[in-house]
Structure 1
Amino acid sequence: MLGYVLGRLLAAIPIFILVAIFIFSLVHLTPGDPAVLLAGDNANPQQVEKIRERLHLDEPLIVQFGIWAGNALQFDLGESIYSNKPVTQLIAQRIEPTFVLAAVTLFLTVAIAVPLGVIAAWRANGWIDRGIMAFAVLGFSVPVFVIAYLLVYFFAVSLRWFPVQGYKPLSNGLLTTLHSVTLPSIALALVFAALIARVTRAAMLEALSENFTRTARAKGLGTFRILVIHALKSAGIPVITVIGIGFATLVGGVVVTESVFNIPGIGRLTVDAITRRDYPVVQGVILFFSALLILINLLIDLSYALFDPRVKG
């Protein structure tokens, strides 16, 4: 087991290095002089030169990358061109809404998708199965912003059950916060759940056809125990895998959803930084999300040991 964990950790290092090189290259892949782009059209040569020195753009590329990577390892992602505040400070100020939104979305996704996938496999080829798969196809096909606007129209504008936009911090109370993120969380969860429900169904169908499931039926075990205790545990690895892969979809959806619902999270920070051409913030946010995705996938890999005893060997 220890060897497996060390192997996963070592495998994540080159991935993170490649991601860091790509993120660093974003400024230099943009056509034109990065310093001129950052300074704006009305900047004078002195301002452009000041930005070039501030970002070490007058140094060779390898030196620039070494300085940037060294600072990043010390959690120094530079300063915002627009606000002159540290990027880490801006991310820290916006992390709560995004974390709450992602946590509630993940909870709703698992609560919706896994039971639907199990039921669809249990009633395979029946009308229940077809209905659940139709929901899955529809949920994965419709863009998240369309679902978000429909939810706003029906539940916020028409019924007035939820706020149209905005976020209430946890300092106002947990229930108040959950009420403010319900609609955006449902919008994201419907898209995310569609993918997981389909994978859960496929994995459950395979598990239900295995010999250990037939043995469990022959012993007279109840349906719930067969489905949940035996089949679902066997189907756990592909389901957990797709949750990790789908997390990338969730990250992309957060950017759109926070813009639609005017939630001051990291996704909204990203959109604002791109609009203002605030490249240090863009680089810092992408690096943050990339590190988060690598960490999530690492945890997913390590969780395989809970579902497959052969991993411990």
Structure 2
Amino acid sequence: MLRLIVQRLLALIPLLFIVSVMTFSFTSLLPSDPVDLILGETGTQEQHEMLRERMGLNEPIVVRYVQWLGRAVQGDLGTSFFNSVSVSTALMQRLPVTLSLTLVSALIAVVVGVAAGIAAALRPRSLIDRLATVGATFGQAIPNFWFGLLLVAIFAVNLRWFPATGFSPLSASPVDWLRSVTLPAIALGLSSSAAIARQVRSAMVGVLQQDYIRAARAQGLSSRRVILKHALTNAMVPVVAVLSFQITVLLGGALIVEQVFAINGLGTLAIGAVRQQDIPMIQGLVLVMVGLVVVVQLATDVIYGLLNPKARPS
């Protein structure tokens, strides 16, 4: 298992290099000039030239990339074109917010999805199974931002149980943090829980028909032990792959849900950077998101190896 982790971490280096080259190249092809966006129409030609030289935009793209890469390997991703804020500092400030939202929504998706899938699999073609199937279909069809607005209208505006907008850090107040993250996490985790429920139901139905499950029941083991220890453990092997994809989807969906609840995470930072064409910020965001996806894939490989010994590297 340690060998697998080392291999994945080493593979991250060329991946980030390729992503940085592509991101740097694509951002250089943007039609708008950052200098024109900063100075506007009132700037003189001398001001344009001075600002372009200060930002290093007079250099060829290869020279600019080599200079940026040299700073990036030292942890310096540059400075924002518009507010002179360090890109690394801005990302580190917003990253815990997005990670909190993603992790809580993933927990909700797993708990709800696995519970619904098990309930449906234990009684195939029953009312519970049909309700779970219909609920999963609606869950995957409803956009998370629309569901977020619905939650705000009901639980924040009418009932006033949760705040409608904003985010409270966990270090400041765990209770306020939980209240601020509950509604966006539910809105974000709904569609993922639906996908997980469908996969768990399908896998559990197949596992419960295996001979070793019948043998476990014949030995007098309790239904809870048979389901949780034997059936669910084997059924979770294909579910892990779906869970990995869903966590990646949650990371992308968090960027949209943050706008609905006015949460200052990576989503707000990304949309602002794209609107302003803040090239250093865009490059830093892309690298961070790619790194997060690779970490999720690594965690998935480790969990898959723990559940399925045959998948472990020799």
Does TM, scored on the shorter chain, surpass 0.5?
Answer: yes
Describe the superposition over 1:145-183 as per-residue Cα deviations: whole angstroms up to 9, x where unpaired.
Answer: 100011011111111111111122234310111111111
SS at match of 1:264: coil
Aligned to 1:61: 61
C-alpha spacing 1:49/1:294, structure 2 compared with 1 (3 Å): farther
State the distance in 2 between where 1:158 and 1:234 align: 44
Q: Is residue 2:194 matched to residue 1:194?
A: yes
AA of the residue aligned to 1:291: G
State the distance in 2 between where 1:213 and 1:40 align: 71
Mapping for residues 7-26 of structure 1, pairs under 5 Å = 7-26=7-26
AA of the residue aligned to 2:188: L
SS at match of 1:146: helix
Describe the superposition over 1:256-285 as per-residue Cα deviations: whole angstroms up to 9, x where unpaired.
Answer: 111111111121111222222222112211
Mapping for residues 117-196 of structure 1, pairs under 5 Å = 117-196=117-196
Q: Shift of the alpha carbon at 1:41?
A: 4.6
State the distance in 2 between where 1:89 and 1:78 align: 10
Q: Is residue 2:223 matched to residue 1:220?
A: no
Q: Is residue 2:255 matched to residue 1:255?
A: yes
**Structure 1: 5+ residue stretches without partners:** none
State the distance in 1 between where 2:169 and 2:282 align: 24
Using the aligned pairs only, state the percent identity.
39
Aligned to 2:280: 280
Q: Shift of the alpha carbon at 1:32?
A: 5.1
**Alignment check: 8 A CA contact 2:152 2:164 kept:** yes
C-alpha spacing 1:46/1:248, structure 2 compared with 1 (3 Å): farther
Q: Shift of the alpha carbon at 1:11?
A: 3.9
C-alpha spacing 1:133/1:12, structure 2 compared with 1 (3 Å): farther
Describe the superposition over 1:184-236 as per-residue Cα deviations: whole angstroms up to 9, x where unpaired.
Answer: 11101112211211122222223223332232223232222122111211122
AA of the residue aligned to 2:228: V
AA of the residue aligned to 1:179: R
Q: Shift of the alpha carbon at 1:47?
A: 4.1
State the distance in 2 between where 1:258 and 1:81 align: 23
**Alignment check: 8 A CA contact 2:38 2:82 kept:** no
Aligned to 1:233: 233
**Structure 2: 5+ residue stretches without partners:** none
Describe the superposition over 1:92-117 as per-residue Cα deviations: whole angstroms up to 9, x where unpaired.
Answer: 22233222222221221222111111
SS at match of 1:172: coil
State the distance in 2 between where 1:241 and 1:123 align: 25
AA of the residue aligned to 1:230: H
State the distance in 2 between where 1:26 and 1:198 align: 38
Describe the superposition over 1:13-64 as per-residue Cα deviations: whole angstroms up to 9, x where unpaired.
Answer: 4433332222222312323556545654544434443454445443343333
AA of the residue aligned to 1:87: V
**Alignment check: 8 A CA contact 2:167 2:177 kept:** yes
C-alpha spacing 1:298/1:164, structure 2 compared with 1 (3 Å): same
SS at match of 2:191: helix
AA of the residue aligned to 1:31: P
State the distance in 2 between where 1:299 and 1:183 align: 26
SS at match of 2:59: coil
State the distance in 2 between where 1:158 and 1:32 align: 44
State the distance in 2 between where 1:39 and 1:8 align: 44
Describe the superposition over 1:66-118 as per-residue Cα deviations: whole angstroms up to 9, x where unpaired.
Answer: 32233222221111112101011111222332222222212212221111112
Aligned to 2:116: 116
Mapping for residues 77-116 of structure 1, pairs under 5 Å = 77-116=77-116
State the distance in 2 between where 1:212 and 1:58 align: 70
State the distance in 1 between where 2:59 and 2:248 align: 34
**Alignment check: 8 A CA contact 2:79 2:85 kept:** yes
AA of the residue aligned to 2:79: E
Q: TM-score, normalised by structure 2?
A: 0.90
Q: TM-score, normalised by structure 1?
A: 0.91
SS at match of 2:58: coil
C-alpha spacing 1:209/1:10, structure 2 compared with 1 (3 Å): farther
State the distance in 2 between where 1:240 and 1:274 align: 33
Number of aligned residue pairs: 313
